[in-house]
C-alpha cells in the first residue's frame, strides 16, 4: 500500500526524506522533523527559518532539506507550514522521555488536560518500541511513556 492509500508516511519513508534529521543527531537535542514528500510548489518553511536550516531552493517543488547542524528546534517552520508536515522532536529533557511538538487542526479544540490518541510517525524516531503509548496533553506538549 502506498502513501496515497495509507494517508501517512511510514517510519522507513520518513527516514528517507531530506527533511528528516539523521537519527544519530537526535540525542540530547531538539530538532525539526519535516515529513514533506509530495513535491508541491511550497516554501514557507524555508522563509520562516531564520537560521537557514531549511532549504527548498529555486525549484519550488523541491523537497525541503534540513540542515540539522543549524536547526535549534525553535518550531517557527512548524507554525508556518500549511501542510502540517513539520514536527519538533525534543530529547533535551534528560529524564528518559521525549517531547514532540506537533501542529493540529482538532475542532473543537480539546480542553487542557484532554488525552487524544494520534499517529505521529515522527514520534517513532524517538520511541524505542511500537508498543509505546503516544499521548497529546493539550497545552503541555506531547509525551511518550511506556
Ligand atoms: S525548528 Fe527552527 S531552526 Fe529548525 S528548521 Fe524549523 S525554523 Fe529552522
Ligand atoms: S511549508 Fe510545509 S508543505 Fe510547504 S514545502 Fe515546507 S514542509 Fe512542505
Find the domain containing 54 and state its range.
3-145
How far apart, in whole angstroms, are the C-alpha atoms of residue 35 and residue 90? 16
Distance 40 CA to ligand 2 centre (A): 8
Nearest alpha carbon, ligand 1 atom 1: 73
Distance 135 CA to ligand 1 centre (A): 24
The number of domains in the chain is 1
Distance 107 CA to ligand 1 centre (A): 27
- The pLDDT-based confidence of 144 (bands split at 50, 70, 90) is very low
Cell numbers of 65, please? Answer: 532539506
Q: Each residue of 66-80: pLDDT tens digit?
A: 999 999 999 999 999
3-state secondary structure of 88: strand
- The pLDDT-based confidence of 146 (bands split at 50, 70, 90) is very low
How far apart, in whole angstroms, are the C-alpha atoms of residue 114 and residue 90? 21
Residue 135 has what pLDDT? Answer: 52
Nearest alpha carbon, ligand 1 atom 8: 49
Q: Which sign, positive or negative, has the C-alpha torsion 90, 8, 107, 133?
A: negative
18 CB less than 6 Å from ligand 2?
no
Contacts of 64 (CB under 8 A, 6+ apart): 18, 19, 34, 36, 43, 45, 46, 54, 55, 56
Q: What residues are in contact with ligand 1 under a 6 Å CB criterion?
A: 32, 48-49, 51, 53-54, 71-77, 88
Amino acid at each position: 500500500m502506498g502513501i496515497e492509500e495509507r494517508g501517512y508516511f511510514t517510519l522507513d519513508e520518513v527516514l528517507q526524506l531530506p527533511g528528516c534529521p539523521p537519527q544519530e543527531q537526535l540525542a540530547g537535542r531538539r530538532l525539526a522533523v519535516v515529513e514533506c514528500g509530495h513535491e508541491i510548489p511550497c516554501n514557507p518553511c524555508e522563509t520562516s527559518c531564520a537560521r537557514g536550516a531549511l532549504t527548498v531552493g529555486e525549484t519550488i517543488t523541491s523537497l525541503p532539506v534540513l540542515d540539522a547542524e543549524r536547526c535549534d528546534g525553535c518550531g517557527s517552520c512548524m507554525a508556518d507550514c500549511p501542510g502540517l508536515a513539520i514536527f519538533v522532536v525534543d530529547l533535551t529533557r534528560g529524564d528518559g522521555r521525549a517531547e514532540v511538538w506537533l501542529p493540529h487542526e482538532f475542532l473543537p479544540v480539546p480542553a487542557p488536560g484532554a488525552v487524544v490518541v494520534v499517529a505521529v510517525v515522527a514520534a517513532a524516531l524517538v520511541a524505542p518500541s511500537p508498543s509505546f503509548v503516544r499521548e497529546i496533553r493539550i497545552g503541555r506538549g506531547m509525551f511518550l511513556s511506556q
